[in-house]
Chain A
Amino acid sequence: MPKDSGIGASPKRREDNRFLTGTGNYTDDINLRGQAYVHFLRSDMAHGRITSIDTSAAAAMPGVVQIFTGADFEGVGGIPCGWQITDKHGEVMQEPAHPVLAQGKVRYVGDAIAAVVAETAEQARDAAEAIELDLEELPAVVDMKAALQEGSAKVHDDLTSNLCYDWGFVEENKPAVEEAFAKAAHVTTLELVNNRLIANPMEPRVAVGDFNRATGDSTLYTTSQNPHVIRLLMGAFVLGIPEHKLRVIAPDVGGGFGTKIFHYAEEAFCTFAAKALNRAVKWTSSRSEAFITDAHGRDHVTTIQLALDGDNNFTALRTDTHANMGAYLSTFAPSVPTWLHGTLMAGNYKTPLIYVNVKAVFTNTVPVDAYRGAGRPEATFQLERVIDKAARELGVDPIALRRQNFITEFPYATPVAVEYDTGDYHATMDKLEEIADLKGFAARRAASEAEGKVRGLGVNCYIEACGIAPSNLVGQLGARAGLYESATVRVNATGGLVVMTGSHSHGQGHETSFPQVIAEMIGIDESMVEIVHGDTANTPMGMGTYGSRSLAVGGSAMVRATEKIIAKAKKIAAHLMEAAEADIELKDGAFSVAGTDKSVAWGDVTLAAYVPHNYPLEDIEPGLEETAFYDPANFTYPSGAYACEVELDPDTGKVSIARFAAADDFGNIVNPMIVDGQVHGGIGQGIGQALLEAAVYDDDGQLLSASYMDYAMPRADDLPFYQVDHSCQTPCTHNPLGVKGCGEAGAIGSPPAVVNAVVDALQSMGREVTHVDMPLSPSRVWQAMQG
């Protein structure tokens, strides 16, 4: 029977009350007394030298407070990168300077050259147009392979080339991999592109900087997924403000999808200018600005090869990727094509030998960084596509080929440095076959054919790694941060609780699901628990939300803190009932003495903690508030199997998604409804990538898809109703909740299912098509049909 509260129940999301009634408090809703507005003058050239910049006429325009250029930021720090990769030769990556405002050169369309602060946003924009700027155009570096050729123009003159790093993983495996390929009975090769995407959260980025002259304190309100990370990066590396003099607040945030993890120059600018001008400074990104300044995602060009023996066992895998970094290194950019990608190349399969090579390349394009899935979709896509291609070449059933090569024993140490704790890939595949009704496919294909449509079926698996950890390991891998999470649980005198979490909710529903966990642990109503997040002044130092880590890592910290609360409360209860602490039991919100009918309510104990008249003051302190930092022992490894059925219009090449089924193993589930929603949203974004979305640059580095007129976001009628199931549960063995994370799975698992299905449809028409690059627009599919 479904529960109506606690873990496993699906209460409606309490935060939706304010989101759906227009009463949220987003950064753009924050307007401070006397605030000024900034408008950034941005480069319309992909690559150019700033030969002169004259702001004198602009400075005299109405309402202008001050105009800043790169010169004002000499001596100020640059935007730091949070991850350092060591390449296959043992050298550290090339790491260019990343100034707040361009110095000397502009390096992508959108690069900020000057910042005009004025009384109104319109005045700032007017004045920006009056700045006299001379740019000498330089050849734009756009294509990654061309960027690495001898003689290519350089994005950064002071680097030796456009190569950020050349990463080999695991370098020691390489000779054995080569040997396995030499001996293989069959080798399947696939070249593919993982298309560049723009996250497009509904809320564009906003920053409001504030400065208090009396105290010397700076405050930044910003659209961030991780305010503590911004405080550390901006305070320590850019502006030199110690954390105790800097507060970062990320209030309601309208979607992030990764692109709001990173520390952006606009945040540093507003904080800097507020102090320089002694007044609040606000920046609100326009949608057009978002397209050319929010970090983009994906953009890999890959060749993958799979070696099989005569019995169709996978014997080796090698893959060679060019990963676009864009013009500068965004906060976590270097980690995405490496540790979040290479480590996933084993997938669900016991391939014994794997070698991954990644060349990260600078180009004159917007910086590229993590986007929902971050590295794992790129790994899953190529792996599941090459397996599908192999099955078709060998004439074997794609599901059978996968099953034959599944990992079945856990824990399992992959040849790419990670250890899967649990999983049951046959179980998720069994569940998929059931919910997708694969048996009924032939009949559905015939029905489509009768209507002049061609139906295709694509199936794939995925594995993902969430809650990247532990900190000491990621430190060895180059992370310049820890990856723990924190929680403070404060119990009030009358029994209500406030959880101050380092996680950040920007749509995920923490305010609903986190209280379910506490309600379950204590046996009280969820309404007694409130979640506070997003403000460095009232939450413990935390790392924020990305990588599907909130419940697995942040939830675990909350559990640990709550365990401390319960332990102390039991001491108090024991005192109140004059019993031994070991005999105290907590159930349904009451403490009782085992084997007796003595009990005290939760509220009696919490009151005693704050009104300690009858209290063991000699043993324990008054009050009931505990903090825990949780550093996981390992990643978590959600997995699943997805099936997509497409219908293809043979006259136009238009693909529609007819059915989509997802069988996921997320370990234990706290709120099934929220998990459904996360999977639905993820699949929507995955289908968007597969069919619709593409950030396209021309040879001059101009973004051709720079608005919704040309960047196709998925809409409701592009998407089917989904069959989703998460009843296959192999709980995580190393976190207290046994949870694995579900935020990115849909976006990771769905693109290969769609492409596999389209290739299936095309082959069923007799076309010798083995691959079509995403997005599978009607034009591209039609082109593929022409053979």
Chain B
Amino acid sequence: MYEFDFVKPSSVAEAVAALGEEEAQALGGGQTLIPTLKQRLASPSKLVSLGGIADMQGLRLDGADLNIGGATTHGTVAAEAAGSYPALAVLAGHIGDPAVRNRGTIGGSLANNDPAACYPAAALASGATIVTNAREIAADDYFDGLFTTALEEGEIITGVRFPVPEVANYQKFLQPASRFALVGVFVAKYADGVRVAVTGASEEGVFRWTEAEAALSGNFSADALDGLTVAADGMMADIHGTKAYRAHLVGVLAKRAVAASA
């Protein structure tokens, strides 16, 4: 690690002000950022912890929407969304290990937008809204490829608003070493249609599988996906899986997700 200053403001406004400084960076749970600092791959001059901002903590059910504060940990979501949005709670409960879940936050995960992360699939499949200090961004407009998002420099995710689906399910196929998603598929059924989001697979990051959505919106059963495939072209390939394998898993996991939620 290089040396840096550390501040822990108690309001969003103070945090935004602190982040206005040259080379200041937000710190969520630090589960991605701290290892990066330890490897000296980043050198912020100041870390602005979001952990002391009460407004960014916790879950709140407002009618059909579940609002989650941007600094809420995976562990809290796993425990507290179990009644309101069980598929999301299960997803959060299978991120990393207990230490990661007790520190890592939903805002950090969405800001980081790791192509193998879980939350992006949930946000995109739920048609969630990313709420920042400055604006509201629809999930469809938010994810922008690998590790890139619509966030501006210094912009903070203060919360995420999830429309709660009728049924939903997340299927995560573990990358054997990291246990991130080698492929993850999140299926969510709403009154006005089904949304399917895929993480871990594409070279472009998390994406919606629109053919599957169309098929499932007409007939919400695993059979509706028979014969549908995603193209291997454009999938990621690494030592854990080829493009063809990832494309194949998308189909298998989508069916499983539908079967598990139907």
A residues contacting B by CB (< 8 A) are 122, 125, 129, 288, 651-654, 691-692, 694, 696, 704-705, 708-713, 777-779, 782-783
Size category of the B interface is: 10 to 19
Chain A residues within 8 Å of B177, by CB: 692, 705, 708-713
Q: Flag if A779 contacts B245 (CB, 8 Å).
A: yes
Chain A residues within 8 Å of B39, by CB: 288
The interface stretch among B126-134, B155-163, B206-214, B235-243 is B235-243
**Contacts A710-B177, A710-B178, A711-B177 given; does A782 touch B245 at CB 8 Å:** yes
Q: Complex formed: what's the CA distance from A384 to B124 in Å?
A: 50
Nearest Cβ on chain B to A178's Cβ, whole angstroms: 39
The 7 closest A-B pairs by CB, nearest first: A712-B177, A712-B176, A779-B241, A709-B178, A779-B245, A651-B252, A696-B239
Chain B residue at smallest Cβ distance from A651: B252
Q: Complex formed: what's the CA distance from A233 to B97 in Å?
A: 43
Nearest Cβ on chain A to B36's Cβ, whole angstroms: 12
Q: Flag if B240 contacts A652 (CB, 8 Å).
A: no
Partner of A783, one of B178, B245, B252: B245
Q: Complex formed: what's the CA distance from A704 to B177 in Å?
A: 12
Q: Flag if A779 contacts B178 (CB, 8 Å).
A: no
Contact with A along B221-254 (1 / 0, CB 8 A): 0000000000000000011111001001100100
Nearest Cβ on chain A to B104's Cβ, whole angstroms: 15
Q: Flag if B176 contacts A652 (CB, 8 Å).
A: no
Q: Flag if A694 contacts B245 (CB, 8 Å).
A: no
Q: Complex formed: what's the CA distance from A525 to B63 in Å?
A: 72
**Contacts A711-B177, A712-B176, A777-B176 given; does A705 touch B245 at CB 8 Å:** no
The verdict on B220 contacting chain A, using a C-beta distance below 8 Å, is: no
Chain B residues within 8 Å of A653, by CB: 245
Partner of B242, one of A129, A705, A779: A779
Which of B177, B178, B248, B249 has the most A CB atoms < 10 Å from its CB?
Answer: B177
Nearest Cβ on chain B to A424's Cβ, whole angstroms: 38
Q: Flag if A783 contacts B242 (CB, 8 Å).
A: yes
Q: Complex formed: what's the CA distance from A288 to B38 in Å?
A: 11
Q: Complex formed: what's the CA distance from A710 to B182 in Å?
A: 11
Q: Flag if B248 contacts A705 (CB, 8 Å).
A: no
Partner of B239, one of A122, A704, A782, A783: A704
Nearest Cβ on chain B to A691's Cβ, whole angstroms: 8
Nearest Cβ on chain A to B207's Cβ, whole angstroms: 20
Chain A residues within 8 Å of B1, by CB: 122
Q: Flag if A652 contacts B178 (CB, 8 Å).
A: no
Nearest Cβ on chain A to B29's Cβ, whole angstroms: 17
Nearest Cβ on chain B to A323's Cβ, whole angstroms: 22
Chain A residue at smallest Cβ distance from B178: A709
Nearest Cβ on chain B to A714's Cβ, whole angstroms: 10
Q: Complex formed: what's the CA distance from A691 to B177 in Å?
A: 11
Q: Can you spell out 9 A-B residue pairs with CB atoms less than 8 angstroms apart?
A: A122-B1, A125-B40, A692-B176, A709-B177, A709-B178, A710-B240, A712-B177, A778-B245, A779-B241
Q: Complex formed: what's the CA distance from A349 to B252 in Å?
A: 45
**Contacts A288-B39, A652-B249 given; does A710 touch B173 at CB 8 Å:** no
Chain A residue at smallest Cβ distance from B1: A122
Q: Flag if A777 contacts B240 (CB, 8 Å).
A: yes
Total A-B pairs in contact (CB under 8 Å)? 48
Chain A residue at smallest Cβ distance from B180: A709
Nearest Cβ on chain A to B258's Cβ, whole angstroms: 14
Q: Complex formed: what's the CA distance from A129 to B245 in Å?
A: 40
Q: Complex formed: what's the CA distance from A428 to B249 in Å?
A: 42
Q: Complex formed: what's the CA distance from A711 to B175 in Å?
A: 10
Q: Complex formed: what's the CA distance from A691 to B238 in Å?
A: 17
Chain B residue at smallest Cβ distance from A775: B176
**Contacts A651-B252, A692-B176, A705-B177 given; does A710 touch B245 at CB 8 Å:** no
Q: Flag if B242 contacts A708 (CB, 8 Å).
A: no
Chain A residue at smallest Cβ distance from B256: A651
Nearest Cβ on chain A to B147's Cβ, whole angstroms: 15
Chain B residues within 8 Å of A694, by CB: 239
Chain A residue at smallest Cβ distance from B241: A779
Q: Complex formed: what's the CA distance from A708 to B40 in Å?
A: 18
Chain B residues within 8 Å of A125, by CB: 40
Nearest Cβ on chain B to A365's Cβ, whole angstroms: 15
Chain B residues within 8 Å of A129, by CB: 40
Partner of A652, one of B173, B238, B239, B242: B173
Chain B residues within 8 Å of A710, by CB: 177-178, 238-240
Apart from A125-B40, A288-B39, A652-B252, list 18 A-B contacts with CB within 8 A: A653-B245, A692-B176, A692-B177, A696-B239, A704-B238, A708-B177, A710-B177, A710-B178, A710-B240, A712-B177, A777-B176, A777-B240, A778-B173, A778-B176, A778-B245, A779-B240, A779-B245, A783-B242
Chain B residues within 8 Å of A777, by CB: 176, 240-241
Q: Complex formed: what's the CA distance from A710 to B180 in Å?
A: 11
Which of A288, A704, A712, A783 has the most B CB atoms < 10 Å from its CB?
Answer: A712
Chain B residues within 8 Å of A705, by CB: 177, 239
Nearest Cβ on chain B to A391's Cβ, whole angstroms: 30
Nearest Cβ on chain B to A620's Cβ, whole angstroms: 62
Contact with A along B188-202 (1 / 0, CB 8 A): 000000000000000
Q: Flag if B178 contacts A708 (CB, 8 Å).
A: yes
Nearest Cβ on chain A to B226's Cβ, whole angstroms: 13
Nearest Cβ on chain A to B237's Cβ, whole angstroms: 10
Nearest Cβ on chain B to A700's Cβ, whole angstroms: 15
Q: Complex formed: what's the CA distance from A249 to B177 in Å?
A: 35
Q: Complex formed: what's the CA distance from A777 to B174 in Å?
A: 11
Nearest Cβ on chain A to B224's Cβ, whole angstroms: 17
Q: Complex formed: what's the CA distance from A782 to B249 in Å?
A: 10
Chain A residues within 8 Å of B240, by CB: 710, 777, 779
Nearest Cβ on chain B to A37's Cβ, whole angstroms: 15
Chain A residues within 8 Å of B248, by CB: 782
Chain A residues within 8 Å of B173, by CB: 652, 654, 778
Nearest Cβ on chain A to B259's Cβ, whole angstroms: 12
Nearest Cβ on chain B to A696's Cβ, whole angstroms: 5
Chain B residue at smallest Cβ distance from A122: B1
Q: Complex formed: what's the CA distance from A8 to B109 in Å?
A: 54
Chain B residues within 8 Å of A709, by CB: 177-178
Chain A residues within 8 Å of B176, by CB: 691-692, 712, 777-778
Q: Complex formed: what's the CA distance from A708 to B173 in Å?
A: 17
Chain B residue at smallest Cβ distance from A692: B176
Chain B residues within 8 Å of A779, by CB: 240-242, 245
Nearest Cβ on chain A to B48's Cβ, whole angstroms: 23
Nearest Cβ on chain A to B116's Cβ, whole angstroms: 10
Chain A residue at smallest Cβ distance from B245: A779
Q: Complex formed: what's the CA distance from A672 to B182 in Å?
A: 41
Chain B residues within 8 Å of A711, by CB: 177
Chain A residues within 8 Å of B245, by CB: 653, 778-779, 782-783
Nearest Cβ on chain A to B65's Cβ, whole angstroms: 35
Nearest Cβ on chain A to B109's Cβ, whole angstroms: 16
Q: Complex formed: what's the CA distance from A543 to B242 in Å?
A: 46
Chain A residue at smallest Cβ distance from B177: A712
Which of A288, A652, A654 has the most B CB atoms < 10 Å from its CB?
Answer: A652
Nearest Cβ on chain B to A164's Cβ, whole angstroms: 27
Q: Complex formed: what's the CA distance from A709 to B39 in Å?
A: 14
Nearest Cβ on chain B to A305's Cβ, whole angstroms: 30
Chain A residues within 8 Å of B249, by CB: 652
Chain B residues within 8 Å of A778, by CB: 173, 176, 182, 241, 245
Nearest Cβ on chain B to A386's Cβ, whole angstroms: 27
Chain B residues within 8 Å of A692, by CB: 176-177
Q: Complex formed: what's the CA distance from A782 to B40 in Å?
A: 38
Chain B residues within 8 Å of A713, by CB: 177
Nearest Cβ on chain A to B53's Cβ, whole angstroms: 30
Q: Complex formed: what's the CA distance from A694 to B176 in Å?
A: 11
Q: Complex formed: what's the CA distance from A705 to B238 in Å?
A: 10
